[in-house]
Amino acid sequence: MRFGFDIDDTLINLREHAFHIYNKKLKKNVPLDVFHTIETLEIHEPFGLTTKEGNQLWLDSMEEIYFTDCPAYPDAIEVLKELDKQGHEIYYITARPAKHCEETKKWVEEAGFPVQEGRFFCGMKDEEKIHTIKDLNLDFYFDDKPNVLDTLTGETVQLYVRDQSYNKHLEMPRLTNWSELKEIIREYENKK
């Protein structure tokens, strides 16, 4: 089968990684339990920043956020490797800015994710992801962002939302740990 994955906050813990970087840069010590209550994608509010200041800090920190040691979510790498080994097709679809695409692909490979040539898509806008997802004729697609998932609800692809504090309102199948994927596939194959 053909599986599509968003990367940031779907396969890797990017916002939390950025939260640590913000604490360090701003010389603050905002505790992690505050992070888990943030209901927006943006993480600047607990640091007392305005939207403008927050956006600027994100832009200024982007390379450090993207290309240092952001951890993958538990089991993400192992589960994707296993899918790859079983002969499933794995596609990455990320809306990271075009200028960071090459390095992102390299980073994802070096982190241990299985990346096959021609199966890494990057640099589109959130609302443009639908075109790639439709063209690829995916069986499954996983993402965390409401404004991406909302564009896909009319499509035949099996959608899953990667559980996050800012997407609790979405009524669609939800995945909280990558170890759940095996069972999801088993159920899907049984239904066919």
Contact positions toward Mg ion, by CB under 5 A?
6, 8-10, 144
Nearer to Mg ion, 1 or 41 (CB): 41
Q: CB of residue 162 vs Mg ion: minimum separation in angstroms? A: 8
Nearer to Mg ion, 44 or 144 (CB): 144
Q: CB of residue 146 vs Mg ion: minimum separation in angstroms? A: 10
Q: CB of residue 66 vs Mg ion: minimum separation in angstroms? A: 12
Which position's Cβ is nearest Mg ion? 8
Check if the beta carbon of residue 7 is closer than 8 Å to that of residue 104: yes
Nearer to Mg ion, 147 or 156 (CB): 147
Within 8 A by CB and 6+ apart from 109, the residues are 115
The Cα 132–Cα 118 span in angstroms is: 12
Q: Where are the alpha helices (DSSP H) in 48-113?
A: 51-67, 76-85, 101-111
Q: CB of residue 94 vs Mg ion: minimum separation in angstroms? A: 7
Check if the beta carbon of residue 138 is closer than 8 Å to that of residue 90: no
